[in-house]
Amino acid sequence: MKTIDDFNFKGRKVLIRVDFNVPLNDSFDVTDHTRIKAAVPTIKKILGDGGAVIMMSHLGRPKSGPEEKFSMKHIVSDLSEALGVAVKFGGDCIGEEAYGISANLGEGEALLLDNLRFYKEETKGDVGFAEKLSKHGDFYVNDAFGTAHRAHASTSIIAQFFNDKATGYVMQAELANAEKVMGNPVRPFTAIMGGAKISDKILIIEKLLDKVDNLIIGGGMSYTFTKAQGGKIGNSLLEADKMDLALELIEKAKAKGVNLILPVDTVIAQEFNNDSPSKVVNKDQIEDGWMGLDIGPDSVKLFAETIANSKTVLWNGPMGVFEFPNFAKGTDQVAEAVVNATENGGFSLIGGGDSASAINNLGYGDKVSYVSTGGGALLEYMEGKTLPGVAALDG
Catalytic residues: 35, 197, 353, 376
Q: Identify which of 88, 100, 95, 146 has the alpha carbon closest to the alpha carbon of residue 116.
A: 95
- How far separated are the first and last CA of the chain, in Å rounded? 6
Q: Is 92 exposed, middle or buried (0-12, 13-18, 19+ CB in 10 A)?
A: middle
Strand, helix or coil for residue 386: coil
Residue 390, amino acid = V
- Sheet hosting strand 265-269, strand order edge to edge: 278-282, 265-269, 291-295
Find the Cα–Cα–Cα–Cα dihedral 393, 385, 374, 68, rounded to 10°.
Answer: 80
* 3-state SS track over 73-140: HHHHHHHHHHHCCCCEECCCCCCHHHHHHHHCCCCCCEEECCCHHHCCHHHHCCHHHHHHHHCCCCEE
Separation of CA 342 from chain center: 20
| Cα 391 from Cα 387, distance rounded (Å) | 6
Contact, 219 vs 195, CB < 8 A? Answer: yes
Contact, 174 vs 378, CB < 8 A? Answer: yes
Contact, 218 vs 320, CB < 8 A? Answer: yes
Residue 343 — φ and ψ, nearest 5°?
Answer: -65, -25
| Cα 53 from Cα 139, distance rounded (Å) | 10
| Cα 263 from Cα 24, distance rounded (Å) | 34
Contacts of 81 by beta carbon, 8 Å cutoff, 6+ apart: none
Q: Identify which of 171, 257, 166 has the alpha carbon closest to the alpha carbon of residue 209.
A: 257
Residue 379, amino acid = L
| Cα 272 from Cα 278, distance rounded (Å) | 11
